Amino acid sequence: MSLLEILTYPDPRLKTISAPVTEFDAKLQAFLIDLENTMRAGPGGVGIAAPQVGCFQRIVLLDVSSKPKIKHHGNLVLINPEITQWEGFEIGREGCMSVPDYTGNVIRAQYLHLMAQDQHGIQHEYDMEGFEARAIQHELDHLDGLLFIDRLVSRRHDLFRRKVYVSIQTQPHLSSEKAIDR
Ligand code: NI
């Protein structure tokens, strides 16, 4: 199993607009395995976008099923994802493997309709809400070169430094923030 290196802010490559996937070949399938392992190795680990590991293609993995009492679609491979409808908005706390030291309050749509291909190129549609909808909006931003810190209304009021209570060497994933890590 190989883990891929995560690009972190302010790496300028994170601003890249990713290209659509056109080949659903063995190379893609192998990349998806490495990408999933990398997502699950991270703190939180509910989602990852290919550009976070330096692959500038429109690929997102999402699995919010570990969160209690929320509606979700399980473990999703979302290729060339597109949001076609949005409804409502709410503010919520987000974190990101590419912005490891901070969390932030971001306004996102509450409900959305998503179209995406799976790993074989077959088109699917999803109605998402709440946490899962927030997560996909966050990941889709990565495909367009945006981070959650680009969405803050006010850096002064909506950006929070993570407070690590235990030494980083002994507890790399322990943090006081119950934030979403994506
Ligand atoms: Ni992220």
From 78-82, 99-103, 143-147, 168-172, the region with the lowest mean pLDDT: 168-172
Q: Could you give the count of Cα atoms lying within 13 Å of 147 in the half-sphere of its Cβ?
A: 24
pLDDT band at 159, cuts 50/70/90?
Answer: very high
Q: How many CB atoms lie within 10 A of CB 112?
A: 22
Helix H or strand E encompassing 26: helix 26-41
> Rounded to the nearest whole angstrom, what is the distance from the C-alpha of residue 98 to the centroid of ligand 1?
6
> Rounded to the nearest whole angstrom, what is the distance from the C-alpha of residue 101 to the centroid of ligand 1?
12
Q: How many CB atoms lie within 10 A of CB 64?
A: 24
From 66-70, 98-102, 161-165, the region with the lowest mean pLDDT: 161-165
- Is residue 88 pLDDT above 80, yes or no? yes
Q: Report the C-alpha gap between 100 and 112 in whole angstroms.
A: 27
3-state SS class at 2 = coil
User: CATH top-level class for 12-161?
Assistant: alpha beta
Encoded tokens for 180: 């979403």
> Rounded to the nearest whole angstrom, what is the distance from the C-alpha of residue 166 to the centroid of ligand 1?
24
- Is residue 164 pLDDT above 80, yes or no? no
Q: Could you give the count of Cα atoms lying within 13 Å of 143 in the half-sphere of its Cβ?
A: 22
Stated pTM of the model: 0.88
Supply the pLDDT for residue 43: 79
Supply the pLDDT for residue 181: 58
Q: Where are the domains of the chain?
A: 12-161
Longest dimension (CA), the chain: 46
| pLDDT 10s digits, 24-77 | 999 999 999 999 999 999 877 899 999 999 999 999 999 999 988 999 999 999
- The DSSP code for 66 is T
Amino acid type, 169: Q
Kindly report the backbone phi and psi dihedral angles of residue 60, in degrees, each rounded to the nearest multiple of 5, phi listed first.
-135, 140
> Rounded to the nearest whole angstrom, what is the distance from the C-alpha of residue 83 to the centroid of ligand 1?
17
Residue from 160, 156, 159 nearest 175 by CA: 160
Q: Which residues are catalytic?
A: 139
